[in-house]
């Protein structure tokens, strides 16, 4: 089945919002490792939406992180703090998912929630502006 570019962007935007909501539910249940995963994916999907809009393809998580830094941070489209946040979430997700006996704590995850929500809104705004222009 084939989808239009706008359908793909809308799908990824919805996935970002859903993953963020899932992450918040996991935070409320003190499931820190799983929350790290979902919160990273919230950012992954919103960045993927931006890349789809720009017709840029990243085939790996590291590739997406590299393109994110190049296309959004170095160009000043979003603040450097958002870049640091995405890079931190990338590392936290790696630790949570792949390191045996690694346990995230409340202090690792909970303070990131407002920043993640801000990052999603920032990129969503860029998507809307690019769509209009």
Q: Judge contact between 13 and 49, C-beta under 8 A.
A: yes
Indicate which CATH number applies to the domain containing 21. Answer: 1.20.120.330
Please check the confidence at residue 117 and state whether its pLDDT lies above 90.
Answer: yes
Contacts of 63 (CB under 8 A, 6+ apart): none
Q: How many domains does the chain have?
A: 1
Among candidates 47, 58, 41, 45, which has minimal Cα distance to 93? 41
Q: Is the pLDDT of residue 132 over 70?
A: no
Q: What is the pLDDT of residues 86-114, one digit of tens each?
A: 999 999 999 999 999 999 999 999 999 99
Closest CA relative to residue 132, chosen from 53, 70, 29, 58: 53
Domain that holds residue 65: 5-132
Return the pLDDT at 91.
Answer: 94
Query: Average pLDDT of the chain?
Result: 94
Reported as a single tens digit per residue, the pLDDT across 41-81 is 999 999 999 999 999 999 999 999 999 999 999 999 999 99
pLDDT at 133: 53
DSSP state letter for 78: S
Residues 17-27 have a mean pLDDT of 98
pTM score, whole prediction = 0.93
Buried b (16+ CB within 10 A) or exposed e, 32-49: bbbbbbbbbbbbbbbbbb
Whether 17 and 60 have beta carbons less than 8 Å apart is answered as: no
pLDDT (0 to 100) of residue 101: 92
- Residue 119, pLDDT above cutoff 90: yes
Has residue 1 got a pLDDT over 90? no
């Amino acid at each position: 089945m084939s989808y239009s570019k706008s359908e793909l962007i809308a799908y990824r935007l919805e996935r970002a919002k859903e993953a963020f909501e899932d992450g918040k539910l996991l935070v409320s249940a003190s499931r820190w490792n799983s929350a790290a995963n979902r919160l990273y994916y919230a950012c992954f999907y919103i960045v993927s939406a931006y890349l789809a809009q720009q017709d840029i393809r990243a085939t790996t998580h590291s590739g997406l992180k590299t393109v994110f830094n190049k296309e959004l941070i170095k160009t000043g489209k979003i603040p450097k703090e958002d870049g640091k946040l995405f890079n931190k979430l990338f590392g936290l997700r790696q630790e949570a998912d792949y390191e045996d006996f690694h346990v995230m704590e409340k202090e690792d995850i909970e303070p990131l929630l407002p920043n993640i929500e801000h990052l999603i809104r920032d990129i969503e705004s860029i998507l809307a502006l690019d769509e209009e222009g």
